[in-house]
Amino acid sequence: MFIVTEDVKEYRKKALEYVTEEDIVLEVGCADGVTSYLLSKKAKKVVGIDKSKEAIERALKRWKKENLEFYLMDGFDIRRILRKFGKVFTVILIDISGSRDPSDVLRLAISYEKAFNPRLIIIKNRPLKKFVEKVIYNDFKIKDINELMYYLKREWEKLNIVFKEVELVKEEYKDLWEMVLSYYNDLKYFYEKRDYVKVFELENYIWGLLDALANLKALEIPEKIKRWFKI
């Protein structure tokens, strides 16, 4: 499960609400260690990592508990983290900059999920929170990031089939069709890069154009996939 928060207050509130005494917690981007320390009062063990030497030195000097550890490590070096700790973390917190590009943050969170399979990941990133809220409250009715990832994969697979089986039958719409194909190539690029924010935007834009072409009767669409179009 993923929880996305907007600021420090919400981030700590959600962490303290969901972390239990059985959890082993990793905080990626722990800075001076305040959140890690607060969680160490509740969790079985907390490990804080940060790439700032000065921040880790301050955390080590300020906070001393048997179940609390701090390390100078880059949160993007997941292989190193795995080698050092193994797959022990049940909860992972990610705070690598509250205003960082949401695609980077989402990509990192998914990498941690695949590597550690924690029961919960809590993220602090304002742009990602705004994006998720936009998705949740629009027509897509997506409830959280888990459902968003399912949606992205499903639409990606459907579009791959569409562009193999659908053909343009009205030449007067050739320019529009070529534009759609160009967006599809962009989609493939961003999907491979795991830029899921761009993927979401492109998938929905492509479907809008495909629906427009379908309603203009400019496409030959196999019967088995017609249900995917808003005709």
What token pair was written down for 91? 């909860």
Residue 154: Cβ-neighbour burial (10 angstroms; 0-12, 13-18, 19+): exposed
Task: Reply yes or no on whether the pLDDT at 137 is more than 60.
Answer: no
**Sheet of strand 24-28, all strands in order from the earlier edge strand to the far edge:** 2-5, 120-124, 91-94, 24-28, 45-50, 68-72
Query: Which residues lie below 8 Å from residue 50, measured CB to CB, with a gap of 6+?
Result: 29, 30, 31, 56, 59, 70, 72, 73, 75
Counting residues of the chain whose pLDDT is more than 70, the rounded percentage is 94
> What confidence tier does 139 reach under pLDDT thresholds 50, 70, 90?
low
Tell me how far apart the alpha carbons of residues 43 and 54 are, in angstroms, rounded to a whole number.
Answer: 25
Q: What pLDDT score does 140 carry? A: 54
* pTM reported for the whole predicted model: 0.72
- Say if CB 121 and CB 109 are below 8 A apart: yes
Q: DSSP 3-state assignment of 140? A: coil
Average pLDDT taken over every residue of the chain: 90
Tens-place pLDDT, residues 6-22: 899 999 999 999 999 99
What is the average per-residue pLDDT within 43-58?
A: 97
- Say if CB 94 and CB 105 are below 8 A apart: yes
Q: What pLDDT score does 13 carry? A: 95
Q: What pLDDT score does 200 carry? A: 86
Task: Write the CA distances from 44 to 73, 92, 117, integer angstroms.
Answer: 21, 13, 18
> What confidence tier does 39 reach under pLDDT thresholds 50, 70, 90?
very high
Neighbours of 127 (CB within 10 A): 16
Tens-place pLDDT, residues 59-111: 999 999 999 999 999 999 999 999 999 999 999 999 987 667 888 888 898 88
Residue whose entry in the numeric block shows the structure tokens 């196999």 = 222
Tell me how far apart the alpha carbons of residues 60 and 81 are, in angstroms, rounded to a whole number.
Answer: 19
Q: What is the Cβ-side half-sphere exposure of residue 72, based on CA atoms within 13 angstroms?
A: 8
Tens-place pLDDT, residues 167-216: 999 999 999 999 999 999 999 999 998 888 888 889 988 998 999 999 99
Q: Which domains does the chain have, with CATH numbers?
A: 2-135 (3.40.50.150), 140-228 (1.20.1270.90)
Query: Which residues lie below 8 Å from residue 51, measured CB to CB, with a gap of 6+?
Result: 72, 73, 74, 75
Task: Reply yes or no on whether the pLDDT at 146 is more than 90.
Answer: no
> Which residues on neighbouring strands pair with residue 69, listed in sequence order?
47
> What confidence tier does 144 reach under pLDDT thresholds 50, 70, 90?
low
